[in-house]
Amino acid sequence: MDNSSVITLSNLSVFQKNKLVLTNVNLEVMQGEFLYMIGKTGSGKSSLMRILYADLPIEDGEASICGYSLNKIKKKDLPYLRRKLGIVFQDFQLLEDRSVKQNLEFVLKATGWRDSSLIDNRILKVLEDVDLIDKLNVLPHQLSGGEQQRIVIARALLNEPEIILADEPTGNLDPETSNGIMKILFGIRDLGKTVIMATHNYNIIHKFPGRVLKCEDGTILE
């Protein structure tokens, strides 16, 4: 695993609905790191995630991720950047009227996959990664909360991203289910991927140690 930098933020300001929530954010994240972002609700964690995903524009400062400058990225390059990012956000939930397989197919087709046998193979591979291959034809509401979250992680892995961005992935889960999710995320990290996870859960950080950044008083502290 080569320790190259996958994210660089310089003097970045983060706005939430025109309100400045974080200033002077300077950060370098290396390939294969597991990084926690902690801080109160409204401290800017989710907004910073959205900047990394190129979902919020940069108004002040500079940011680059996976070799793309987020200051200069063109609209036509966004799909290519987003293929390098796996997203596990609260509001990117599963499509309720489609089976697990159809949910995963939808993402692959939307990101340019055409060959149906390659699509099927990839879906089986990511479901194997999260140990839910038997849920292929099940609808989301037939899954437990933990299983749904594992499918969301499988979906994030479809395009073999370099970075996983996870916003409160264990937020609504019991401790045992949370541990299972964390083991999956650390397994992904062990493959040389970078994982950035926003969380309120300090028990998880003690149990699964990583680098910790705290959003507090309008800035980020290690």
- The mean pLDDT value for 67-78 works out to 94
Distance of CA 122 to the CA centre of its chain: 19
What average pLDDT does the chain have?
Answer: 93
Mean pLDDT of 194-198: 97
Handedness of CA 35, 92, 45, 48 (dihedral sign): positive
Helix (H, G, I), strand (E, B) or coil at 126: helix
Give the residue, 187 or 41, on which the prediction is more confident: 187
> What average pLDDT does range 116-137 have in this prediction?
96
- pLDDT exceeds cutoff 90 at 1: no
Mean pLDDT of 175-182: 94
Q: Is the pLDDT of residue 67 over 70?
A: yes
Q: Look at 16-20, 147-151, 166-170, 207-211 and tell me which has the smallest mean pLDDT.
A: 16-20
pLDDT for 89: 87
Express as a percent the part of the chain with pLDDT over 90.
Answer: 79
What are the backbone dihedrals phi and psi of residue 70, each rounded to the nearest 5 degrees, phi first?
A: -75, -15
The pLDDT of 102-123, averaged and rounded, is: 95
pLDDT digits (tens, 9 = 90+) for 94-105: 999 999 999 999
Distance of CA 50 to the CA centre of its chain: 10
User: Token pair 């609504």 is at which residue?
Assistant: 172
186, 33 Cβ separation under 8 angstroms = no
Amino acid at 17: K
CA geometry: angle at 68 spanning 88 and 87, to 5°? Answer: 5
pTM, full prediction: 0.93
Q: How far is it, in rounded angstroms, from Cα 199 to Cα 46?
A: 10
How does residue 193 score in pLDDT terms, banded at 50, 70 and 90? very high
